[in-house]
Amino acid sequence: MTIGSSASHTRRLSSHVAEFPTADTPAAVIHAAKRSLLDGIGVSLAASSLARQVEPFIGLAREGHTRGGTPVIGCGFDTAPTLAATVNGALAHALDFEDTHDAAIVHPYAAAIPAALSAMNRIDKIAGRELLASLAHGANLVCRVSLGFTNNSETDGWFLHPILNSLAAAATASRVYGATSAQVEQALSFAFSQSTSSAAAKDQADSDYRTIREAFNAHAGVVGASLARDGLIGFSRVFDGPYGIYGLYGGGSVDAAALTGDLETRWENTAVSFKPWPSCRGTHAFVDCALQIMQDPLFSADEISDIEIRVSPFYQSLCEPTAEKSRPTTASAAKFSIPFVLAATVRSGELTLKQFDEWALADEQTIRLAERIRVGVDRSLDMRSAMNGGVKITLADGTVLRADVEEPRGGSTRPMDDAELIAKFRACAELALHPPRDIAAFVDLVMNFEQEPDAHSLLVALRADS
């Protein structure tokens, strides 16, 4: 469908965010939101101690330190809500370990959760179920917006998917505020006006932008929602017409069914994937394949003579340039390298956060193995099937071991259950600079959050002095 002057996608989406009754929100949607809330806070807790890129943000947040403000996750102090959204946004994606929507290729909660924490700090009371519904609306909206694109705008020089998350933050914060549909529409326009991203960040190995990008989205969303709440007007029709998102970034074309179809029954937040491994989701098919192959009794790492992978065109960039991807110098660069991630998995028999520390990055055996990996691009795969991948390992005696994955573990067909998510949370929380005082109680709080009469209990649980 070509965007025309009579399109009303913005109004429909804004009305849905503002007006859909929380009481009518399906239980599966609420449950999915609290799983993502637990996972998002968990990886942020771990990032507080492990990600050097967040240290400047923590320093900025300390300048606004105020008792009773919004907690900086894992850091033991509160700060002004807008500053908190910024630093918590940086924490959310710093380890690239949070959930993702495989088809939409977005991290729908990375900016939404920080925005929700900051927004509810500005209101007197909000029930736990309503906060979860607000998060679900933000995640659902950004997934739909991404799925609405019919082309890959990165070929035009835009790094599109990071741009979109400001909309999730704006929608979430607006719902928390109890905004009208008109206010949601203006909040989206203010968030959109603060958001841009060049694909150049993907091509520069030492760029920190990919790590801390959600700081800017969370900030834009909270600011946008707050301005709209106070009556300011940005512009209408964020998704419509020649100057809307699809007119500017999508060549004027939109998949209307993906964007606004089945609004009351299709919730994309229920289709998110949770990461069992702390790297770019585009690398996970190859981790998955490697672990499957290594279970074969014929496999021996010492006998590998050749490794060939099959990768989608969309994730070809995670293999090139070969020299950089084989020998990444930072954890962030390593997480966006299929050759390194695959080699590290084969060498260690697992992929955990420790495979990205400075000692692991310097391991010459891992580097040499990564350098030997041959890449084949499967042109039959489009952007929506980009997670598909395969690995073929040939041993010295000629034995060929192969594995292919359509959807990596953690996705809707092979999900992580609640017990696995809770175990992941516990492991991440223990790494925080300032973990929750009682991790078990925190898990119970979040996993039963729809029963909380006041969601501010979450802020209390995140504070070091609670």
pLDDT of residue 466: 44
CA distance 211 to 76: 22
pLDDT of residue 65: 83
pLDDT of residue 204: 85
Helix 160-177 with 214-229: angle, nearest 10 deg: 40
CA distance 54 to 291: 32
pLDDT of residue 6: 46
Q: Can you read off the two tokens belonging to residue 209?
A: 């932008």
Residues of the chain with pLDDT under 70: 1-7, 464-466
CA distance 4 to 92: 36
Helix (H, G, I), strand (E, B) or coil at 193: helix
pLDDT of residue 303: 97
Q: For 175-206, how does the pLDDT look when each residue is reduced to its tens digit (9 = 90+)?
A: 999 999 999 999 999 999 999 889 898 888 88
pLDDT of residue 2: 58
- For residue 465, count other CB atoms closer than 10 A to its CB: 10
Domains of the chain, by residue range, sit at 9-276+414-462, 281-405
CA distance 82 to 119: 9
Spell out the residues 6+ positions from residue 7 whose beta carbon is closer than 8 angstroms to its own. 237, 239, 240, 241
Specify the CATH number for 9-276+414-462; select among 1.25.40.340, 1.10.287.3510, 1.10.4100.10, 3.40.50.300.
Answer: 1.10.4100.10
The answer to whether residues 309 and 376 touch, using CB atoms and an 8 Å cutoff, is yes
**DSSP code for 93:** H
Predicted model pTM: 0.94
Tracing tokens 């005696």 back to the chain, one arrives at 397
The answer to whether residues 361 and 327 touch, using CB atoms and an 8 Å cutoff, is no
For domain 281-405, the CATH superfamily is: 2-methylcitrate dehydratase PrpD (3.30.1330.120)
At position 83, the amino acid (one-letter code) is L
The answer to whether residues 446 and 458 touch, using CB atoms and an 8 Å cutoff, is yes
Going across the sheet that includes 304-311, the strands are 373-377, 304-311, 389-395, 400-405
Report which of 193, 188, 237, 350 is spatially closest to residue 8, judged by C-alpha positions: 237
